[in-house]
Structure 1
Amino acid sequence: MTASLFIDGAWSAGSGARRGTVVDPATGAAIGEVAFAEAADLDRALTAAERGFRAWRKVSAYERSRILRKAADLVRQRAETLAEAITREQGKPLAEARMEAGAAADVIDWYAEEGRRAYGRVIPARIPGARQVALSEPVGPVAAFSPWNFPVGQLVRKVAAALAAGCSIIAKAPEETPSCAMALARCFEEAGVPAGVLNLVFGVPAEISAHLIPSPVIRKVSFTGSVPVGRHLAALAGQHLKRTTMELGGHAPFIVCDDVDVEAVARLGAGIKFRNAGQICTSPTRFLVQAPMQERFAELFAGLAEGLAVGAGAAEGTQMGPLAHARRIDAVDGLVRDATEKGARLLTGGRRIGNQGFFYAPTVLADVPASARIMNEEPFGPVAIVNRFETLDEAIAEANRLPVGLGSYAFTGSTAQAGRLADEIEAGMVSINHFGLAAPETPFGGIKDSGHGSEGGSEGLQAYLATKFVSQA
Structure 2
Amino acid sequence: MGYEADLKLFINGSWRTGEGRDSFQVINPVTGDSIAELPMATEADLDEALDTARRMYPVWRATPVEKRSAILHQAASLLKERAADIARTMTQEQGKPIAESTGEVLGAASLFDWYAEEIKRDYGRVLVRPPGELSRVMHEPVGPVATFTPWNFPIYLLAKKVAAALAAGCSVISKPPEETPGNTLAIARALDDAGLPKGVFQLVHGAPDMVSKHLIGSPTIRKVSFTGSIPVGKHLMKLAADNVTKITLELGGHAPVLIFDDCDLDKTLDMVVPQKFRNAGQVCVSPTRFYVQEGIYDAFIKGFAERTKRVKIGNGLDADTKMGPLANDRRPGAIETLVNDARDKGARVLAGGNRGDSGFFFEPTLLADVPLDADIMNNEPFGPVAVSRPFKDFDEAIQQANRLPYGLAAFAFTENGRRANLLADAIEAGMVGINTFAISIADAPFGGVKESGFGSEGGKEGLETYQVVKAIHQA
Task: Name the TM tier (shorter chain).
Answer: over 0.9
2:223 — aligned with what?
220
1:203 — aligned with what?
206
1:28 — aligned with what?
32
Number of aligned positions between the proteins: 471
2:87 pairs with one of 83, 87, 106? 83
The aligned runs of 1:303-452 (5 Å cut-off) are 303-354=306-357, 356-452=358-454
Aligned partners of 1:52 and 1:196 also within 8 Å: yes
2:299 — aligned with what?
296
- Following superposition, the deviation at residue 184 of structure 1 comes to 1.6
1:234 — aligned with what?
237
Aligned partners of 2:21 and 2:42 also within 8 Å: no
The superposition leaves residues 253-285 of structure 1 with CA deviations (integer Å, 9 ceiling, x where unpaired) of 011000012121112111110000000000011
1:105 — aligned with what?
109
- Following superposition, the deviation at residue 433 of structure 1 comes to 0.9
- Give 3-state SS (helix, strand or coil) of 2:107's partner: helix
Report whether the alignment pairs 1:255 with 2:254. Answer: no
2:151 — aligned with what?
148
Aligned partners of 1:68 and 1:188 also within 8 Å: yes
The aligned runs of 1:261-276 (5 Å cut-off) are 261-276=264-279
2:100 — aligned with what?
96
- Following superposition, the deviation at residue 140 of structure 1 comes to 0.3
Counterparts of 2:443 and 2:173 in 1: how far apart (Å)? 24
Q: Which amino acid aligns with 1:163?
A: L
2:467 pairs with one of 462, 465, 468? 465
Counterparts of 2:347 and 2:243 in 1: how far apart (Å)? 46
Q: Which amino acid aligns with 1:459?
A: E
Aligned partners of 2:95 and 2:327 also within 8 Å: yes
2:248 — aligned with what?
245
Aligned partners of 1:74 and 1:187 also within 8 Å: yes
Counterparts of 1:469 and 1:317 in 2: how far apart (Å)? 56
Structure 1 stretch displaced more, 264-273 or 9-18: 9-18
- Following superposition, the deviation at residue 15 of structure 1 comes to 6.2
Aligned partners of 1:142 and 1:168 also within 8 Å: yes
Counterparts of 2:42 and 2:449 in 1: how far apart (Å)? 35
- Following superposition, the deviation at residue 353 of structure 1 comes to 1.8
Counterparts of 1:191 and 1:95 in 2: how far apart (Å)? 26
- Following superposition, the deviation at residue 203 of structure 1 comes to 0.8
- Following superposition, the deviation at residue 14 of structure 1 comes to 5.9
2:182 — aligned with what?
179
1:160 — aligned with what?
163
Counterparts of 1:343 and 1:197 in 2: how far apart (Å)? 55
Aligned partners of 1:442 and 1:457 also within 8 Å: yes
2:43 — aligned with what?
39
Q: Which amino acid aligns with 1:440?
A: A
Aligned partners of 1:15 and 1:41 also within 8 Å: no
- Following superposition, the deviation at residue 16 of structure 1 comes to 4.4
Counterparts of 2:221 and 2:182 in 1: how far apart (Å)? 25
- Give 3-state SS (helix, strand or coil) of 2:471's partner: strand
Counterparts of 1:65 and 1:432 in 2: how far apart (Å)? 34
1:8 — aligned with what?
12
- Following superposition, the deviation at residue 436 of structure 1 comes to 2.0
Q: Which amino acid aligns with 2:238?
A: A
- Following superposition, the deviation at residue 118 of structure 1 comes to 1.6
- Give 3-state SS (helix, strand or coil) of 1:282's partner: coil
- What do you get for the CA RMSD once the two structures are aligned? 0.9
1:122 pairs with one of 120, 126, 145? 126
- Give 3-state SS (helix, strand or coil) of 1:56's partner: helix
Counterparts of 1:395 and 1:52 in 2: how far apart (Å)? 52
- Indicate the percent of aligned positions where both proteins have the same amino acid: 52
Task: Give TM-score, length-normalised by structure 2.
Answer: 0.98
Q: Which amino acid aligns with 2:29?
A: P
The superposition leaves residues 132-158 of structure 1 with CA deviations (integer Å, 9 ceiling, x where unpaired) of 111110000001001000110100011
Q: Which amino acid aligns with 2:37?
A: E
Aligned partners of 1:16 and 1:36 also within 8 Å: no
The superposition leaves residues 175-194 of structure 1 with CA deviations (integer Å, 9 ceiling, x where unpaired) of 00001111121001110111
Counterparts of 1:303 and 1:153 in 2: how far apart (Å)? 32
- Following superposition, the deviation at residue 17 of structure 1 comes to 2.3
- Following superposition, the deviation at residue 413 of structure 1 comes to 1.0
Note closer, same or farther for the CA distance 1:335–1:379 as it changes in structure 2 (3 Å cut). Answer: same
Aligned partners of 2:21 and 2:41 also within 8 Å: no
The superposition leaves residues 205-236 of structure 1 with CA deviations (integer Å, 9 ceiling, x where unpaired) of 11100000010100000000001100110111
Counterparts of 1:243 and 1:322 in 2: how far apart (Å)? 36
Aligned partners of 1:139 and 1:464 also within 8 Å: yes
Aligned partners of 1:441 and 1:456 also within 8 Å: yes
- Give 3-state SS (helix, strand or coil) of 2:274's partner: helix
Gaps of 5+ in 2: none
Counterparts of 2:199 and 2:190 in 1: how far apart (Å)? 15
- Give 3-state SS (helix, strand or coil) of 1:164's partner: helix
Structure 1 stretch displaced more, 13-22 or 222-231: 13-22
Aligned partners of 1:16 and 1:37 also within 8 Å: no
Q: Which amino acid aligns with 2:447?
A: G
2:23 — aligned with what?
19
Q: Which amino acid aligns with 1:460?
A: G
Aligned partners of 1:94 and 1:314 also within 8 Å: yes
Q: Which amino acid aligns with 2:9?
A: L
Which stretches of structure 1, 4 residues or more, deviate above 2 A after TM superposition? 13-17
